[in-house]
Structure 1
């Protein structure tokens, strides 16, 4: 008897929850940073905090590279389970770390798992989406990271002042429950299974990484890497240091963390709206628009001290922040053919992690040298402008790329 596959909405929901947990675990560091800096027992300085934030993101780079190399060989399901297990255990270890040095080691391990989830979950969502609604489905799934960021910010707001940072990280360990769900109910991608059986022109299946550097794909691949790096430098610099920068501007600890919540809400709404528009046009155009919105919003932050206008500007910075990166992910996933989809996205994200690694350190410079929120915002507006320019050069979807058709779809009860 053939085992029935769960409906499409259930697969997409699992991907969304995985990315929510991923976003919580990733962005909670910035939300808890005021707690580390304000508790003398941790012995954390701004410079040390920026360095640890960057080193941890090296783990994300390794996780993205591993996922990009192995997911198109071993399967989406196995890599998703492995990544979930690593970052769930890592968050629990962070919660019980005896000092900041040990915390930094556990944070590094956590980020290895975090780096592997996104390319895997996006590949699954792309391949499970109803026909003609790929951008909408992927965009909906990609609201997971900003929702996770918002949950992390709200959790930190509620707990850090009175209870410290440990409970915030302990709650992140609850994602281990999702690992059981994926093991029990998540099927392997049919498109992956079909692509695995399909002949690969110009080489064998194991050469998927080299296919990113063929004469036709070399320039697009490099452009994707550049755009991802710029996007992540801006995004990770802001999410790591926004609460600290606003605290330096005179806001109380809880109010400063609230700015990260506003940024996250902008990310969520921006992802939904931009994904809907992308379905009518193309993700590339939304990437250009997103970078432009981020740049203008950050310039607005640099020009006002009005609290209401600051909240509005930070909201739109979120619209053009993570919303932009999500459209980059969507564009790359649609650009590459199925045989190298996860590989192309994983390696682009790995290249982007170089920008993410530089982001916290860049943010530390902006927070220290800039001195004021306005000056720091100007520092972050510069890469946003450069990102818009680079995005213009990105190619549109490779319409010659074919996607293998899943076999026995009717027999296996796939629902769309």
Structure 2
């Protein structure tokens, strides 16, 4: 443990990550919020089918962003990728605001979502590494309220501007992330664990001393090392990696499915912020695993009760519980993944899990559509989405509660840059 008192505040790092994720959440949700100003209105006069195709294309962009950028983070460094992803989706949002044709708008939207998908694993990796050892879940939970806050800001901005000014200023505001780029470039430190994989140990020592961090182990130059991606399946981690991928698929299937077919949940999106904070406090004491299980089960129970069409007041409460069980649970899954993988593969592990999980996000609306199309209606969709939530709880129960520190140290020593 580094015994020196920290010379620099950690708060600036966490605020930058939170603001980056707020911009990330804004830019992700703004498309759905501005659809009323795109479908059937000038200048594009978009059809619902074309709008849906671009929405699906955006999810593919997020899948690729999580996969490619998350992996590059562990190869090229956290700071460089954080700044690049932030600049990429902010510039793409500005391009969406001035796009002269629908085809160009679709291209810029795909690029924006590629950057959006890449920022989350990088921000989580940075936050987890710099958070104090006894407060990692608490700090990460607070930072992960950024996307949900961005969702609320996008909704309010769209309500205020869309009808009077059209979609363009709403997207232009989404380019505000560019204001963070110089601050992130000059103020965000590089990951000490990444620097050690580059054998830049003196730099890592200086950063750890400056921020009062525990000293990370050095990666011996003579060791036999493997890539971060291969490391996800090395040293007995293959089973857990596969389970985490399946759990993330089920979580995102539930989130995107219920947000499409049960709009009451979207109206209670603000509860996701509160739920994430409360869950992170509990997670700091009990660990993220039991919170994920509780979240899945609470979402399943709430959805089952919603399927019987209770009175409006009860429906609102159930929607809030289901919303927490969706967004809050995914944030706790992110917390679990960040704590499971060692620092040198953390962004890769989270990036791959979120990339595979996007398959669930893409399938969720279609899964609900099939059930509604068969005449079951919204109650049947609510019951159907309770099923993947329950399966997710069962799979989470199959995971061990933590990975030993010794295993992390052993794997850190095996990784390439």
Give TM class, smaller chain. Answer: 0.7 to 0.9
Structure 1, 82-91 or 388-397: larger mean CA deviation: 388-397
> How has the CA–CA distance of structure 1 residues 370 and 32 changed in structure 2, closer, same or farther, with 3 Å as cutoff?
farther
| Distance in 2 separating the partners of 1:36 and 1:367 | 26
- Contact 1:301 1:373 (C-alpha < 8 Å) held by counterparts: no
Q: CA RMSD in A?
A: 2.6
More deviation in 75-84 or 208-217? 208-217
Counterpart in the other structure of 1:213: 233
Give the counterpart of 2:253 among 233, 236, 242. 233
**Equivalences for residues 171-210 of structure 1 within 5 A:** 171-197=173-199, 198-199=218-219, 207-210=227-230
Partner residue in 2 for 1:387: 392
2:196 and 2:219 in contact (8 A); partners too: no
Matches within 5 A, 1:11-410: 11-37=13-39, 39=41, 42-197=44-199, 198-199=218-219, 207-214=227-234, 216-239=236-259, 241=260, 246=263, 260-262=266-268, 264-304=269-309, 306-365=311-370, 372-399=377-404, 400-402=406-408
Asked whether the equivalents of residues 40 and 47 of structure 2 are also in contact (C-alpha less than 8 Å), the reply is: no
Q: What residue in structure 1 maps to residue 212 of structure 2? A: none
Check the 8 A contact 1:54/1:359 in 2, yes or no.
Answer: no
Deviations 1:271-295 (A, max 9, x none): 1111111111111111111111212
Of 336-345 and 49-58, the range deviating more from structure 2: 49-58
Match among 3, 10, 13 for residue 12 of structure 2: 10
1:251 counterpart residue number: none
Structure 2 unaligned runs (5+)?
A: 1-5, 200-217, 411-417
C-alpha distance in 2 between matches for 1:301 and 1:32: 28
Q: Deviations over 1:123-145 (max 9, x none)?
A: 00000001211110111111111
Distance in 2 between residues matched to 1:29 and 1:102, nearest whole Å = 15
Moved more, 326-335 or 47-56: 47-56
Unaligned runs of 5+ in 1: 247-255, 405-416
Number of residue pairs matched by the alignment: 386
Instruction: Return the alpha-carbon distance in structure 1 between the equivalents of residues 13 and 303 of structure 2.
Output: 37
Q: State the distance in 2 between where 1:202 and 1:54 align.
A: 46
Does the C-alpha gap of structure 1 residues 370 and 11 become closer, same or farther in structure 2, counting only changes over 3 Å?
farther
Question: What is the SS of the residue equivalent to 2:361?
Answer: helix
Determine the C-alpha separation between the residues in 1 that align with 2:35 and 2:190: 38
- Write the distance in 2 (CA, Å) between the matches of 1:32 and 1:305: 31
Please give the TM-score of this superposition, normalised by the length of structure 1.
Answer: 0.85
TM-score by length of 2: 0.85
